[in-house]
């Protein structure tokens, strides 16, 4: 039997020590005036910061050559490859941020969970986690199991300019839980949501197990020198607002609370989350990522209004504005130089309207999801240059 009211891992249990905070501060080398950090604070950056999700990966021929005989997860645990792959797009595109090359299942793999990334399919579990016994047996990652990631970060930091930041990341508990429950990628997350509805006590027990793993994965990256982190809830858009509040938000909030003492910006992003943006902002990130389906000025206005309503109703969170990140449709990069130029200008104008209206502190240009593998790298470089010219 699963405890009907499982004791949560308290926020205090997950918070870093003063020594860990000092270690992280000493490891960070980016200037406080780096464009991305300035935009998050609401200062005027020296140029509009831009990075792209999946900027490191299959769109780059140098990546394909490097990974020709190395499995995806294997490359995430080889410090030399991890560092080189992370840096490839930064060198090529003049990005304002490097995003750590990794995968959301890396902390599960490091902890000993049987998972692999199958080409053409994605993460696949040896045994789905659908019973109380399986949840109870699920390990929580230990920092010592992530030493390869720490070493890889060390190799990245020395290659970045002081105006370029390193962003660490982790998958949020709902997305991790869905892979564990479904046994792999799912089109509708039906088995996952069925567990939520029919066995909420089992669902919450699983989320309690996953939350410290996510926290530790982020903390290890920050203490190794990451200047910011992004919490991906890739599949949260499949949830209703009510279900997100009940089954997901408390755990995402606990994760963000546990990394806040480090003083690094936290970005929160999910796909198809237009109706959830306010609730996602309420869990405490500094930056809210927006997919390409909602204009940035509309999204920022929605977030600001939702946060104010949430606080008035006695809910958690602050009514303050957030920075926004996004939100070019990845397919635009396939459409030619003129379209790229016009669409980059449109996204920047929408973001500027949000800032001028007081609904956003600043803007980090990004895609509304990840770079498509068939994208011409020169189109990405061109888009970065267009953003820097705005």
Catalytic residue set? 54, 58, 67, 103, 179
Whether residue 262 is annotated as binding a ligand: the answer is no
Alpha helices in 71-199 (DSSP H): 72-76, 79-93, 106-111, 132-137, 147-157, 173-182, 190-198
Show Cβ contacts of residue 267 under 8 Å, excluding neighbours closer than 6 positions. 167, 228, 229, 230, 231, 285, 286, 287, 288, 289, 325, 364
The residue among 51, 106, 218, 83 whose CA lies nearest residue 157 is: 83
Token output for 97:
């941020």
Alpha-carbon gap, residue 239 to 258, rounded angstroms:
24
Any binding-site annotation on 234? yes
Residue 127 annotated as lining a ligand binding site: no
Is 58 flagged in the annotation as binding?
A: yes
Using alpha carbons only, what angle is made at residue 300 by residues 375 and 309, rounded to the nearest 5 degrees?
145
Q: Would you tell me how many other CB atoms lie within 10 Å of the CB of residue 374? A: 9
Instruction: Please give the span between the terminal C-alpha atoms of the chain, in angstroms, as a whole number.
Output: 58
Contacts of residue 242, defined as CB under 8 A and 6 or more positions apart, other chains included, come to none
Asked if residue 197 belongs to a known ligand binding site, the reply is no
| Other beta carbons less than 10 A from residue 172's beta carbon | 27
253 labelled binding-site residue? no
32 is in an annotated binding site: no
The whole-angstrom separation of Cα 366 and Cα 228 is 15
> Percentage helix, strand, coil, to 5, in the chain?
50, 10, 35
55 annotated among ligand-binding-site residues: yes
Q: What CA–CA distance (Å, rounded) separates 310 from 114?
A: 40
Check the annotation: does 56 bind a ligand: yes
**Residues in the annotated binding site for substrate:** 54-58, 103, 179, 234, 369
**Residues in the annotated binding site:** 54-58, 103, 179, 234, 369
């Amino acid at each position: 039997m699963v405890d009907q009211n499982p004791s949560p891992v308290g926020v205090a249990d997950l918070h870093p020590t003063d020594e860990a905070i000092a270690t992280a501060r000493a490891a960070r080398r980016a200037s406080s005036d780096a464009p991305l950090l300035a935009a998050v604070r609401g200062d005027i950056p020296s140029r509009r910061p831009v990075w792209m999700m999946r900027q490191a990966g299959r769109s780059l021929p140098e990546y394909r050559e490097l990974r020709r005989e190395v499995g995806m997860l294997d490359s995430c645990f080889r410090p030399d490859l991890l560092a080189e792959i992370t840096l490839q797009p930064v060198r090529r595109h003049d990005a304002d941020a490097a995003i750590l090359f990794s995968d959301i299942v890396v902390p599960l793999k490091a902890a000993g969970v049987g998972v692999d990334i199958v080409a053409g399919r994605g993460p696949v579990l040896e045994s789905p986690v659908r019973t109380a016994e399986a949840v109870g047996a699920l390990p929580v990652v230990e920092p010592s199991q992530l030493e390869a990631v720490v070493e890889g970060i060390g190799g990245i930091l020395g290659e970045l300019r002081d105006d370029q930041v390193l962003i660490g990341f982790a998958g949020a508990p709902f997305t991790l839980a869905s892979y564990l429950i479904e046994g792999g990628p799912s089109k509708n997350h039906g088995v996952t949501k069925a567990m939520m509805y029919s066995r909420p006590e089992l669902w919450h027990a699983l989320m309690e197990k996953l939350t410290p793993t996510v926290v530790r994965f982020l903390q290890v990256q920050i203490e190794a020198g990451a200047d910011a982190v992004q919490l991906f809830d890739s599949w949260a858009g499949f949830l209703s607002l009510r279900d997100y509040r009940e089954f997901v938000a408390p755990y995402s909030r606990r994760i963000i609370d546990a990394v806040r003492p480090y003083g690094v910006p936290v970005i929160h992003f999910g796909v198809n989350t237009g109706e959830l943006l306010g609730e996602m902002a309420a869990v405490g990130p500094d930056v809210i990522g927006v997919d390409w389906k909602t204009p940035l000025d509309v999204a920022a206005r929605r977030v600001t209004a939702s946060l104010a309503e949430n606080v008035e109703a006695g809910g958690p969170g602050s009514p303050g504005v957030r920075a926004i990140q996004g939100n070019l449709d990845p397919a635009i990069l396939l459409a030619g130089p003129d379209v790229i130029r016009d669409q980059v200008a449109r996204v920047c104008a929408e973001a500027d309207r949000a800032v001028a209206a007081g609904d956003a502190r600043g803007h980090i240009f990004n895609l509304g999801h990840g770079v498509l593998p068939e994208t011409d790298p020169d189109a990405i470089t061109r888009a970065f240059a267009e953003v820097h010219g705005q």
